[in-house]
Structure 1
Amino acid sequence: MHAPAAPTEALFPDSLLVEVAWEVCNQVGGIYTVIRSKVPATMPAWGNRYCLVGPYFPQMAQGEFESVDDLDVHTGSDPVTAAVRSMRAQGYDVCLGTWLVTGRPRVVLINPFQTYDRLPQLKTDLWQRHGIPSPDNDDLLHQVISFGHLTTIFFKHLTAHLRGQRLLAHFHEWMTGVAIPDLRREQVPAHIVFTTHATLLGRYLAMNDPAFYDNLMRVDWQAEAKHFNIEPAVQMERAAAHGSHVFTTVSELTVRECIYLLDRMPDAVLPNGLNIERFVALHEFQNLHQQYKSRINDFVMAHFFQSYSFDLDKTLYFFTSGRYEYHNKGFDLTLEALARLNYRIQQSGMDGQVVMFFITKRPFTSINPQVLERRAQLEEVRETCRAIEEQVGERLFFAAAASQDHKLPDLSSMVDDYWRLRYRRQLQSWKTSALPPVVTHNLVNDHNDDILNFLRRSELLNHRHDRVKMVYHPDFVSPASPLLGMEYGQFVRGCHLGVFPSYYEPWGYTPLECVARGVPAITSDLSGFGDYALQNVPDPEQKGIFVVHRQEKSFDESAEELTDMMWEFVQMNRRERIMQRNAVESHAELFDWKNLRVYYDRAYSLALARS
């Protein structure tokens, strides 16, 4: 069913909403995007009755957190300010301030290291009260346990300063959920919602079991948690799920996972959205595509043209990105389909080619010097061409002014011998018979890299005859990079198609970020986003959302379907692709938080009714 219209503002006028997340002012992964992008849609409804709580890591927070400098003379008497003030009076290290994102919400950041001297007792309490073990050598668990204890203290102070208001406490993921069992045990008057964005055990199992979904109902959760050495974190997640008044997850796909791995049926599904206004470029988005595509062209010329050239006007840029989870992210399926696509284009005899970018994060020692050298040499060629252009331009203008006829003079005669020689020598030294590298960096262990090993086995190594060229970029795209030199969002806009046929993806922001920028995307029905699109978006393919079927399909069947999708895209002409981008951009608002926030409001209503 379609997302209902957003509710009227001030839906809960007598309530205070506090969201607790490990990634508040602390960018680690996808939860950061969820929380940050939801803020602009949340603030109009809640205003000063909304606050976020997270751990204080100074290096991570310094660029996006603005503290209230002198809380002691702060005139505010609201419950959040009063709670922070009273905690400080007891010697706790707590910061109150503003998150410098759209909407500028209030934020409380708590230093998790301040109670490390009490860790032995906190861990003993966790075991005796809730049966949750904790080893001595896991610093993340220590941070989580300490932060959970301090969050419980914060909520005690907060509820002591409420004036007839009800407190909604929304916890995200197991790292913050460790506070929930103590809040229930000590009967702190909070209405608790817990959201798991992906069960911890589910992620591990999916990475290691090709038949994860088939075997899900037979999993011995405790034995598997011990096997992967994650039992304490899994126990914390289960305690949070069972201790919350309302338990939620982010997609219908993860509902089964929660039932079998956490032993609780979610009460609600909270699909994720984006702040679409942040991405809207109106009539400019086609121009932006051209602008950023030209910058990708610069990289492609430097990377490939030293060995051989091809027509950039007949070249399509595909990409995939995300954490390096070869199976979970569908990198294996993508590579297989690309190999098949390469063969199809070769056999068809059609013009054009695809350059496929793999953007992920892997340990590397340096950028490949050969890749840097190719780019530097092409820049020298460019500078020489500019110098010749300037010289010819000046001389052509003089010749035109002095001309007694209307003939175009011989332009080559206007170039000095110095520039002729330099131009020739630069091209001679630049050209090579070596194949363009498939990977842009020197990986720490490239012999055990799954992507590289597939490319070697399939001989997809950027031969001249290959119609699918590969660029494996094992680092995130940033303006500081000497290779692509642009923001990730700019890179996405410059591409033609995003490819994300995940095997395990509780939600999946990467295809949604494509759609928000007017770029068609391929996802899968094992992705929360893909499943949501199939259930809620009429004719998703007409809106540039292509969903590969992986449920109850063999790897080969899914690979063939993905190949068909990419093959059909390759056959489209430029006008058809422009029309498709227009359709994608015009329907992006379907995934705006303003429309999807209502699912959160329903969960909050349920929590207030239950407790």
Structure 2
Amino acid sequence: MANNYFLIESSWEVCNKVGGIYTVITSKAPHMVKQCGEDFLFVGPYFEDKARSELQEEKPKGAIAKAIKVLQEQGLQAHYGTWLTEAEPKAVLIDFSPWRNRADDIKKTLWEKFGVDSLGAPDDFNEPIVWAWAVAQFAHQLQQALGETMILHTHEWLTGVAILACKASNAAVKTVFTTHATMLGRAMAGSDADLYGEINTIDPEQAATKYQVKAKWSLERACAQHATVMTTVSEVTGREVERFLGRPVDQYLPNGLSLATYPTFEDSSIHHARLRDQMREFLLYYFFPYYTFNPAETLFYFMAARYEFHNKGIDMMIDSLAQLNTRMKESGHRKTIVAFFYVPTAVGPVRPELADSKLLFLDIKDYIVDAKHDITSNLIYGVMSGESINEKTLIRQDIRQQLKKNLQKMHHGGMPPLSTHDILDPNDPIMRHLHEVGLDNKADDKVKVIFYPIYLSGADGLLNLTYNQCIQASHLGVFPSYYEPWGYTPLEAAALGVGAVTSDLSGFGKYLQSNKLGSTGTSDMPGVAVMKRDNVRYEQGVEELTDYMFTYANYTREDRVKNKIQARRIAEQADWADFVKFYFMAYEKALKK
């Protein structure tokens, strides 16, 4: 055995992409396989539609085959094979559906042995606890078949029941529990409660009841109490773990990236120029039917997030952009900022005026491309002959007339839209707040906004860029989160050579601060700036973010390149090649207990 133990890593998101943990475990997998070899196995739930594209089934052998056979004798089916992700790790997916009727018995045991209060549990409580109970049975049987030391690492409460099941059956299995965000912390932050102001004074059980997460909080607390080793992703969630779950963190497990899957800095620079030009072209039919400005003097800021208006700092970004707009207008700034909000929500079709403008723009572009040879020839002749060069000498009259007709059709009255699509919610918080602060895309605004409320598929009919491509096309990512247990987006931006600003209430921001990797405030070329939100007034946060965005707008091209280089250097400090060591520290601690 490579590590003198067999390791099972279990998550509801093994071969089942539903959230951010999928990114964590798949990007980390190559390093787990490299370190553990054949002594490592993922275990997840079996959902036929997902498994069909995620798992290449194979016939199990040896101890794994024996453990699966015992499950079959107990009425369960388990599917073994290769997970079709990087490094192709082995995985077992357990079909727990035959045990659905055991949910009440499991909850009874959880109450009697561990004090887990599941009365009034929501509908999404039963399936994970039944599945996790089966995971524990599999781990127990595999350990007996191997006759070796085993560690079971579970992610979140959805898998944590396996820890309690192992405890109840006295299984010879060491357990590691990771919470990526406590149920109570997320619920409070999502309800606009003063989480960090109240964290040291509230009664967790009363708060869990108030915010309707008592069953999950109670289960999560029991998992934390009975795990051999308790872990979480950052110091931010560490505070929650100690206060809400009643146990200090044994080991922090920061989230990393596999930098080998990202383009080199040189390639990113080439991609930036090409994708930036594609973004500039988008501006030509989004804004130019109403008024014009210089795309070459335009910077692209962006936020990409789930629609959590307060938690993700969307409110703060809007307020700061409004102040930035005022400051840039008062200073007569030559730059224009276009800020994109990539925040998916319920939408109707693309706004008809935008769809029409795009078609007319493409028609104009086609006319010019078709006439490119004649225009080039006329330009060369004009230069060589010394004759005057203007649109009449460059472009044939019939083409000029058609172009003018199309341009007249493109012209709109009023102002450009704030969103690319019709937003179904008439009280949408982003749209409402943009209007409240006066960010409505007026001609004299130096800060213009585009709410892009759909997933970035690369084939959406407008930008036609993927998520990574939109990042690469941009200049600055803005993520002033209030509640962010880790925060992949600024790290992803940095890995793609794009500067970012995050907050000290995000796990990643706190990690940068603790390890002196990022810079705060308006420090020169921070790469990833970390703004203060912990124990500061909201208005102070808005002012600091405004200051940084204004500072960035004043960067020269050379400054921006230096900042991009520093951002990439920071990302290199968060590679799984280095961060995976924290997982093995946790496992060593489990073995010693």
TM-score computed with the length of structure 2 as normaliser: 0.94
User: Aligned-pair RMSD on alpha carbons?
Assistant: 2.3
SS of 2:152's equivalent? strand
1:197, CA displacement in angstroms? 0.7
For residues 327-347 of structure 1, what are the alpha-carbon distances to aligned partners after superposition, in whole Å with 9 as ceiling and x for unaligned? Answer: 111111111111110001000
Structure 1 residues 336-345 or 203-212, which shifts more? Answer: 203-212
Q: Tell me the distance in 2 between the aligned counterparts of 1:477 and 1:371.
A: 18
1:217, CA displacement in angstroms? 1.6
**Contact 1:462 / 1:470 at 8 angstroms: preserved in 2?**
yes
Match of 2:392 in 1: 412
Match of 2:408 in 1: 428
Structure 1 residues 418-427 or 459-468, which shifts more? Answer: 418-427
Q: Tell me the distance in 1 between the aligned counterparts of 2:333 and 2:256.
A: 39
Match of 2:498 in 1: 519
1:407, CA displacement in angstroms? 5.6
Q: Tell me the distance in 2 between the aligned counterparts of 1:503 and 1:95.
A: 41
Letter in structure 2 aligned against 1:566 = M
Q: Tell me the distance in 2 between the aligned counterparts of 1:434 and 1:409.
A: 35
1:85, CA displacement in angstroms? 4.3
Structure 1 residues 195-204 or 247-256, which shifts more? Answer: 247-256
Are 2:265 and 1:285 equivalent residues in the alignment? Answer: no
Q: Which structure carries more relative contact order (alpha carbon 8 Å, separation 6+)? A: 1
Match of 1:84 in 2: 68
1:167-566 to 2 correspondence within 5 Å? Answer: 167-392=150-375, 412=392, 415=395, 417-447=397-427, 449-538=428-517, 540=519, 542-566=525-549
1:1-20 to 2 correspondence within 5 Å? Answer: 13-20=3-10
Letter in structure 1 aligned against 2:81 = G
1:431–1:57 distance in 2 versus 1, CA, 3 Å? same
SS of 2:256's equivalent? coil
Q: Tell me the distance in 2 between the aligned counterparts of 1:587 and 1:119.
A: 46
**Contact 1:499 / 1:521 at 8 angstroms: preserved in 2?**
yes
Letter in structure 1 aligned against 2:210 = H
1:538, CA displacement in angstroms? 4.3
Match of 1:65 in 2: 55
1:410–1:578 distance in 2 versus 1, CA, 3 Å? closer
1:463–1:604 distance in 2 versus 1, CA, 3 Å? same
**Contact 1:340 / 1:563 at 8 angstroms: preserved in 2?**
yes
**Contact 1:219 / 1:260 at 8 angstroms: preserved in 2?**
no
For residues 97-136 of structure 1, what are the alpha-carbon distances to aligned partners after superposition, in whole Å with 9 as ceiling and x for unaligned? Answer: 1122221111111223332233343344333443334468
Are 2:115 and 1:131 equivalent residues in the alignment? Answer: yes
Letter in structure 2 aligned against 1:475 = I
1:127–1:367 distance in 2 versus 1, CA, 3 Å? farther
1:546, CA displacement in angstroms? 0.4
**Contact 1:333 / 1:559 at 8 angstroms: preserved in 2?**
yes
**Contact 1:520 / 1:584 at 8 angstroms: preserved in 2?**
yes
**Contact 1:392 / 1:411 at 8 angstroms: preserved in 2?**
no
**Contact 1:23 / 1:54 at 8 angstroms: preserved in 2?**
yes
Are 2:39 and 1:49 equivalent residues in the alignment? Answer: yes
Letter in structure 2 aligned against 1:575 = E
For residues 302-356 of structure 1, what are the alpha-carbon distances to aligned partners after superposition, in whole Å with 9 as ceiling and x for unaligned? Answer: 2111111111111000011111111111111111111110001000112011111
Q: Tell me the distance in 1 between the aligned counterparts of 2:233 and 2:38.
A: 26
Letter in structure 1 aligned against 2:465 = M
Are 2:126 and 1:146 equivalent residues in the alignment? Answer: no
1:404, CA displacement in angstroms? 11
1:143, CA displacement in angstroms? 1.4
Are 2:25 and 1:35 equivalent residues in the alignment? Answer: yes
Q: Tell me the distance in 2 between the aligned counterparts of 1:409 and 1:259.
A: 74
**Contact 1:323 / 1:361 at 8 angstroms: preserved in 2?**
yes
For residues 50-75 of structure 1, what are the alpha-carbon distances to aligned partners after superposition, in whole Å with 9 as ceiling and x for unaligned? Answer: 1111112233343332221xx2xx5x
1:568-579 to 2 correspondence within 5 Å? Answer: 568-579=551-562
Match of 2:93 in 1: 109
Q: Tell me the distance in 2 between the aligned counterparts of 1:483 and 1:405.
A: 42
Q: Tell me the distance in 2 between the aligned counterparts of 1:547 and 1:571.
A: 19
Q: Tell me the distance in 1 between the aligned counterparts of 2:516 and 2:190.
A: 29
Q: Tell me the distance in 2 between the aligned counterparts of 1:438 and 1:320.
A: 15
Letter in structure 2 aligned against 1:177 = G
1:591, CA displacement in angstroms? 0.6
Q: Tell me the distance in 2 between the aligned counterparts of 1:224 and 1:406.
A: 81
1:58–1:295 distance in 2 versus 1, CA, 3 Å? farther
SS of 1:339's equivalent? helix
1:583, CA displacement in angstroms? 2.4
Q: Tell me the distance in 1 between the aligned counterparts of 2:7 and 2:394.
A: 73
**Contact 2:348 / 2:422 at 8 angstroms: preserved in 1?**
yes
Q: Tell me the distance in 1 between the aligned counterparts of 2:51 and 2:438.
A: 45
**Contact 1:478 / 1:484 at 8 angstroms: preserved in 2?**
no
Paired residue total: 589
Letter in structure 2 aligned against 1:467 = K
1:482, CA displacement in angstroms? 1.2
**Contact 1:506 / 1:527 at 8 angstroms: preserved in 2?**
yes
Structure 1 residues 111-120 or 82-91, which shifts more? Answer: 82-91
Match of 2:12 in 1: 22
**Contact 1:37 / 1:274 at 8 angstroms: preserved in 2?**
yes
**Contact 1:156 / 1:188 at 8 angstroms: preserved in 2?**
yes
1:609, CA displacement in angstroms? 0.7
Q: Tell me the distance in 2 between the aligned counterparts of 1:221 and 1:599.
A: 29
Could you list the runs of 5+ residues in structure 1 that have no partner in the other structure? 1-9
Q: Tell me the distance in 2 between the aligned counterparts of 1:91 and 1:19.
A: 23
1:85–1:412 distance in 2 versus 1, CA, 3 Å? farther
Structure 1 residues 488-497 or 95-104, which shifts more? Answer: 95-104
1:13, CA displacement in angstroms? 2.6
**Contact 1:217 / 1:260 at 8 angstroms: preserved in 2?**
yes
Structure 1 residues 367-376 or 143-152, which shifts more? Answer: 367-376
SS of 1:109's equivalent? strand
- Amino-acid identity (%): 33
1:551–1:412 distance in 2 versus 1, CA, 3 Å? same
**Contact 2:76 / 2:96 at 8 angstroms: preserved in 1?**
no
Letter in structure 2 aligned against 1:439 = S
TM-score computed with the length of structure 1 as normaliser: 0.91
